[in-house]
Amino acid sequence: MTLKDKLLNGDFVVTGELGPPRGCDADVVRKKAAMLKGVVDAVNITDNQTAIVRMSSLAASVICLSEGVEPVMQMTVRDRNRIALQSDLLGASALGIQNILCLSGDHQSFGDQPGAKGVNDIDSIQLLYTARRICEEKKILHSDKPLTSAPELFIGAACNPFAEPTDFRPIQLKKKIDAGAHFIQTQTIYDIPAFREFMKRIVDMGLHEKAYILAGVMPLKSAMMASYLNDKVPGVIVPQQVIERLKGVPKERVADEGIEQSCEMINELRTIEGVHGIHIMAIEWEHRVKDIVERSGLDKRIHK
């Protein structure tokens, strides 16, 4: 069953992440895919994340497919105009990719090509609209001439519940769903009560019935990482008690403690109304995902 089928079936799903290498070695992708195979339901393949040049998301997605891992191809609007994006949507579908995630992308000034021209011909919500139009209406943007065949894509979007301005976030999520998102993956969550509040608004707006919402979890590798996320990454709030707990264990046990915390969070997130799955972001920690899934009991998630 595909990710889409499982969600349609009412299953609680788990997705992971795989960062393509800074090189052309397909084996790097194969090895990471092997760590996630059978552990998660689908794997996000990042698109030049942090604006650093890497193997393309499309290529790495195809490698994953050949390894029996279902990819969610991430697509940012930073590097491609609407011609290239639409062409890649068709091409990805022809190669067997069924899931895409539409993103604005990290700003080019953060990466290794700070002088690159940020394309941003369309924005991420316009990409959602474009993808839906291609799939449902069999038409590309601004053209009434039907395509000879149209893909059937499961279209995703990202959401950061805690980024400013926070009171606009539910409206923004509604815009994404109205534009074409079938599923949503959230930014990593550490502040469960704040996320509960956010989800209450989402449920009140009925959005949880219009799209599948997967709650983001990123295991903390150290107290330093926790402080960095809290201080430097906009829209990520790591409560002080989470950081203190990591500080309170001996060095060799910190990673384990981070995983334990992730498992506890997963078990809380599972109980929140409107949450249809968990998205585990463990880039360069792909080998620990199995541990997280098993220790949190997600491996026993029931396929109804």
Partner 1 sequence: MLVAELKPYNETKSFIEKYQSILVVGCGGCTSLCNAGGLRETEALAAKLRRDTGVNIKSVTIERQCEDEFVIELSRMMEGVDAVLSLGCGAGVQLIAEQFINIPIYPALNTKFVGTSHDRRVFIERCRSCGECRLGSTAGICPITRCAKGLQNGPCGGSENGMCETGNGRECAWCLIIERMKAQGRLHELEAFCEPVQWPGQAPERFECGMGVK
Positions that interact with partner 1 (CB under 8 A): 78, 82, 104-105, 107, 109-110, 118, 120-126, 129-130, 141-142, 158-160, 163-165, 168, 171-172, 174-175, 178-179, 187, 234-235
Min dist CB 149 to partner 1, Å, is 23
Task: Measure the CA–CA gap between 285 and 287, rounded to whole angstroms.
Answer: 5
Min dist CB 77 to partner 1, Å, is 8
Min dist CB 276 to partner 1, Å, is 20
**By C-beta, is 14 or 177 nearer to partner 1?**
177
**By C-beta, is 8 or 168 nearer to partner 1?**
168
**By C-beta, is 95 or 283 nearer to partner 1?**
283
**By C-beta, is 27 or 167 nearer to partner 1?**
167
Min dist CB 81 to partner 1, Å, is 9
Min dist CB 33 to partner 1, Å, is 27
Min dist CB 51 to partner 1, Å, is 11
**By C-beta, is 16 or 105 nearer to partner 1?**
105
**By C-beta, is 180 or 289 nearer to partner 1?**
180
